[in-house]
Structure 1
Amino acid sequence: MFKKKNLTAAVVVSASAALAGCDQFFQDASDREVDITQMSPEELAEHLVLETDSYRMDQEVQEGGTGRERMQQDEVQALCSLEGSPDSETAGQVVAAARASYERPDGGVELGDWRRGAELARSGYGYRVGHNNDDHGTREPGANCYACHQMDPAETTYGTIGPSLANYGRERGTDESVLNYVHEVVSNPHQYFPCTYMPRFGRNFLTEEQISHVMAYLLDPESPVNQ
């Protein structure tokens, strides 16, 4: 087994550094029952995020619930909050948990509109919480696929964290087995790639309709991805 990694500490390390220089913060902290000077960096990060007013944990989030509830890890997140690649036992637990939570759409998997999918693939909008959180009532959240993948071969700007998906549909087709596999990966990629960096879009980040559009952009023969 490998060492535990505190994700909250990683998220707020810059905030902790900034607060370290604020006299008012430490003056206020001295009046509290908690002695932050006795905390490890990880404990301090957890305290700043969850137990003080440094972050708006009571703010409602678009997927439902509050910011505090968003910070609570589910089984897959807890298993993957580890340093290094998961060992075989952990990987098996992650895959099992991911598959247990997966739901195939009623009526089967279908492709949507690849043009809508192209827009979603390029958009990184959505789910930011802060003083000016994203408004999903005026603009839908995006999938941000290009942050990690090449898709349209004509595009020149894309990330390389994930594999190239150029010509994906042209090489694999669109039969039922391909549709089911791609939906499973987009919805919850941990079913095949335990502890991957890829988001679980089926967990309230994209609707089933949006997922169908992204899949069409990836698989439709008319999509520029497959030209």
Structure 2
Amino acid sequence: MAATFSLGRWQLSRAAEKQALLAALAERQRLPALAGAALAAPAADGPALLYRTVILRGTWLPERTVYLDNRVMDRRTGFYVLTPLRLAGADAVVLVQRGWIPRNFEDRQVLPPVATPAGEVRVEGRIAESPSRAYALGADGTGAIRQNLDLDAFRAETGLPLASLVVWQTGEPSEGLLRQWPAPDSGVEKHHGYAFQWFGLCALIALLVLWFQVARPLRRSSSHD
């Protein structure tokens, strides 16, 4: 009983930690937007920048665009489109997850057209640790269509001075792309579910102890009398 009760309380404490983290992330999103220089700085504090809003200015490198396959948005399957952005006035490149586009179901190898403006652009987004990931079998490929994209491997593959964080572009649909990104998942509901299971098991053990150690002996004693 003590063990299961303690485990239940531990799961509740984990849920409280995750809720505090969500509150902190929401507070970060309300802070003023950062400039792209915050990502270009070599000593940038990655964890402190996560989920902050950022405004980037630079030029797209469309020849390095990557399409992440099997991504769902608005209950449809398609690609997440990622393109490196060379920051204006800095020797740094930021990988931007620009949005989602539907796939061609007649030929999955046909890349859907994405409008990529030339010249300097302004991009507003949310700082993230890495591109969106999905379950994959085997190693990631090196073509335009991939299942996942590892930032360090992509940096070595392209030779680009990629920042250690990426940006998920936000805003209304544009350039043929949707941007209904999922909200951060803290797993609070999971911890509450585990806590309920442990407390339920604790209650069951308590009932069994009462039955076998108290109620049943009392009934036997009464029947003998």
Does the alignment reach a TM-score above 0.5?
Answer: no
Task: Name whichever structure is richer in helix by fraction.
Answer: 1
- Which structure's relative contact order is higher, taking Cα pairs within 8 Å and 6+ residues apart? 2
Calculate the TM-score normalised by the size of structure 2: 0.22
Task: Name whichever structure is richer in strand by fraction.
Answer: 2
Calculate the TM-score normalised by the size of structure 1: 0.22
Larger Rg: 2
